Homo-oligomer: A and B are copies of this chain.
Amino acid sequence: MEDQWRAYVDEQVNVPPSAEGVLHGLTYAVKDVFNIKGYVSGAGNPDWKRTHPIPSKSHAKAIELLMHEGATLKGTTHTDELMYSLNGENYYFGTPINPKVPERIPGGSSSGSAVAVAAGLVDFALGTDTGGSVRIPSSYCGIYGFRPTHGVVPIEGVIPLAKSFDTVGWMTQTMERLVQVGRVLIRGGSKDHVIKRIIIPEDVLELIDLEFRQITNEKIDQIKEHVDKVESVRLASGGLGEWLETFRVLQGAEIWETHGAWIEKYNPTFGPGIRERFEWTKSITEAEVQGALEKQKDIQKRMQDILQDDGVVIMPTAPSSAPMLNTDGEALDSFRQRLLRMTSIAGLSGLPQVTLPLVNKDGMPIGISIIANRKSDLGLLAWTEQILNKIEKVRGG
């Protein structure tokens, strides 16, 4: 029955709780990049599993945190190869089926985790988010998703992609559950983050398909009513293309640093698209990296100035709902450029971002995101839950 969603790599993996706790009775799944004692993670590529045959000696730290609070791990879920895609169409292992719009891609790289949650197979799921890999499948599958501040959720025991951007994120069907899991996983940061300003990034809004503008505008308008101040800004004076390029170069260089030796040693066979991107990471020069690091500093300062301690940026999570299944690779690569302009904003500054599901009049899911300053994770989640409750109350009343 659950097979129909193709969410799981291995449903036999089962890790019971080690204690009772606040997640008692809840089930979850993890992307197949988390260490599980006695198990070999596959990272979405057959050559990875073949060349990393030794079972993990311990669980990833995030799994331990969840075990200690009573949650039961039910299985591992599909990922794009080495987490290096936002589509969820794995050349070797197929495509998990998007439960909300089955004719469209689920998004990736945490594709199976998003599908497992959207199909109701588990109460929540863990993914990883380097360049959008939790946020994008959450947006496409119509669920809640969270990418934490870089470093506040333990990443020990997770196969890396690009270390200064990698985060452990999670997905749920409700905001309440998103917060509940966050209270267990988020280690550090402040709960007392008072949000007074919402910031609308005009240059991000210019990127989205017009048909999703109305639904995002409506949600922004609802949120506006509950804050003191609304500001419109352009984030990037030189264009978000420059931010994307900065992200691509830094992420790419780190990817090669992380996986280059393995790739050169084993010459793994990657599927189309993934292969070309890995090849490109090898060609990045030190001068490009230095230039990008300088730009990253400017970008981080810009986001700091905009957000300060009391602001959140509100914007769509993606430029549109999920692309159709089997869209040709070139077209997806073009689309990826718009997508990364949006997802790299949080990535470049290590910012927390929550994505909430909206549905347009044609039934197409798209996420709307709230980004806050670093280490405000619990405050951001609490504020978002509060705002959604207020909106619900207004609409119910």
Contact = CB atoms under 8 A, between A and B. Distances in A.
A210 B242 contact: no
A337 B202 CA distance: 10
A214 B337 contact: no
Contacts of A209: 209, 320
A110 B255 CA distance: 50
Contacts of A202: 334
A242 B209 CA distance: 21
Contacts of A211: 324
A44 B48 CA distance: 65
Interface in A280-332: 320, 323-324, 327-328, 330-332
Given A217-B330, A328-B217, A335 B239 contact: no
A327 B242 contact: no
A206 B332 CA distance: 9
A38 interface: no
Given A241-B239, A328-B217, A330-B217, A337 B206 contact: yes
B338 A206 contact: yes
B327 A210 contact: yes
A244 to B, nearest CB: 9
Copies of this chain in its oligomeric complex? 2
A324 to B, nearest CB: 8
A205 interface: yes
Nearest to A200: B330
A61 interface: no
A339 B206 CA distance: 10
A24 interface: no
A213 B213 CA distance: 20
A241 B239 CA distance: 6
A207 B338 CA distance: 8
Given A239-B241, A239-B242, A241-B239, A210 B337 contact: no
Contacts of A320: 209-210
Interface string A269-284: 0000000000000000
Nearest to A244: B239
A38 to B, nearest CB: 42
Contacts of A330: 217
Nearest to A202: B334
Interface of A: 202, 205-211, 213-214, 217, 238-239, 241-242, 320, 323-324, 327-328, 330-332, 334-335, 337-338
Given A206-B335, A210-B323, A217-B328, 4 more contacts: A209-B209, A213-B327, A217-B330, A238-B239
18 contacts: A205-B331, A206-B335, A206-B338, A208-B334, A209-B209, A211-B324, A213-B328, A213-B331, A213-B334, A213-B335, A214-B327, A214-B328, A217-B328, A217-B330, A217-B331, A238-B238, A238-B239, A239-B239
